[in-house]
Amino acid sequence: MAMANTSPFISNLKHQSYIIAQTKYMRKRKKNFSSNALSSSTQPLPLNLDYLKREFTGPGVVFERIPAGHGCSVRLTMDNGSIANVTMPGSMITSYQPQMWHGANMEVLQTMVSRPDDEITKLQGGISVNFQCSSDDTDVWALRGWVLRGVKGKPDKSIQIELFSSSPLDGSEARYAVTLCPNLISTELSITNNSSSPLHITGCILNHLKTSTPDATYLCGMQRASYYTCGPVMSELGIVPPATSKTGTAWVQKGLDGLFGKGKDEARGEEREEGSESVHLTDETYRFYQNAPRQFTVLDRGRRNSIMIGKNGFDKLYVMSPGSNHDWYGRYAYVCVGPAVTQPVTLNPGDVWNGSQYLYNPNM
């Protein structure tokens, strides 16, 4: 798919040099990397946009710079008109617009730009990877700073971009692949322990789905699934209404640890069983389903739209609704669902963990 005017051998050699340089950049920071610090607090990797355009632009693949220091976006376009945007180095899928039955495209994801006082502008929402890996000596690596490894496919069938992130602690790696097809978008995440000691992983993939209003939105296929209530997952990439942020100070302090780690026992509420096939998401809701089906549907009657979601490799499903006390079609007109790993998975040296999900558009 590369459009460079060099031979495939020279082009591949140059790209390998680029990957090696990016990996060395990450590992070079190891001596400045403080214990117990998440890598999300570090500066993003430098991007060579001209190189990315030259080597990877092709049919259905376009690179564009994002203003305000956000890096760049990769725009994927299928022949049938379906579109997706992925950011680098953040790996957030900020837009997914499949073609609908009426012939036009419809935005599936809710993404917004936040501008906190005295802080850098942030992208929030969309589809984001929120995983962290810890070792026995309490060092923590959060998956951030993604680098493009390759692009393949054709716009008449599928286009896949592959990203990787390397730990500045021990060289462990994560692979993240985003694949756009005419009627679905899928994400695959794999984490490889390249260290000499066990690695413990927890996290979730957050899908912020645009709705007319949560009052018209239903989660279908959850009958007899057990769940418990919790607080919101306070990811820096997630969208949480201001009222929740103010009243949930303890959750902000605990972050992912409050749900997936040390504070998990006090975080969870009483376990219950879902008695209905369709869960109405009209009220403010934060819960984890423990035995959710591998496939389920989010239905929005207001927009006459539905999205089918499939998952594999995750032990729980996070469901969040901001409630219906917000403007229709506004910034909080969304629901968030995300496959999660809440019980730490231990990877011994050389082990690999794999997890995947897809969003399928049944409305063509």
Residue 33 has what pLDDT? 34
- pLDDT, one tens digit for every residue, the chain (364 residues): 444 444 443 445 445 555 545 555 444 444 333 333 333 333 445 678 899 999 999 999 999 988 766 689 999 999 999 999 999 988 999 999 998 888 889 999 999 986 655 556 678 999 999 998 988 776 788 888 899 999 999 999 999 999 999 888 778 999 999 999 999 999 999 999 998 899 999 999 999 999 999 999 999 999 999 999 888 888 888 888 876 544 443 333 343 454 444 444 445 678 899 988 999 999 999 999 999 999 999 999 999 999 999 999 999 999 999 999 888 988 899 999 999 998 899 999 999 999 999 999 998 7
Q: Shortest CA distance to 228 belongs to which of 278, 281, 265?
A: 265
Residue 208 has what pLDDT? 97
The CA distance from 56 to 39, in Å, is 27
The CA distance from 151 to 52, in Å, is 11
pTM of the entire structure?
0.83
What letter would DSSP give residue 40?
A: G
CA-CA-CA-CA torsion sign (275, 280, 286, 291): positive
CA atoms lying within 13 Å on the CB side of residue 220: 13
Residue 120 has what pLDDT? 61
CA separation (Å) from 10 to 6, 24, 130, 247, 251?
A: 6, 21, 36, 57, 51
- The residue whose two tokens read 């502008």 is 121
Residue 249 has what pLDDT? 36
Residue 136 has what pLDDT? 79
Q: Which two tokens stand for residue 27?
A: 């590992």
On the 0-12 / 13-18 / 19+ scale of CB atoms within 10 A, 304 is middle
The CA distance from 267 to 255, in Å, is 11
- Total number of residues shown for the chain: 364
Q: Which two tokens stand for residue 261?
A: 């780690």
Residue 119 has what pLDDT? 58
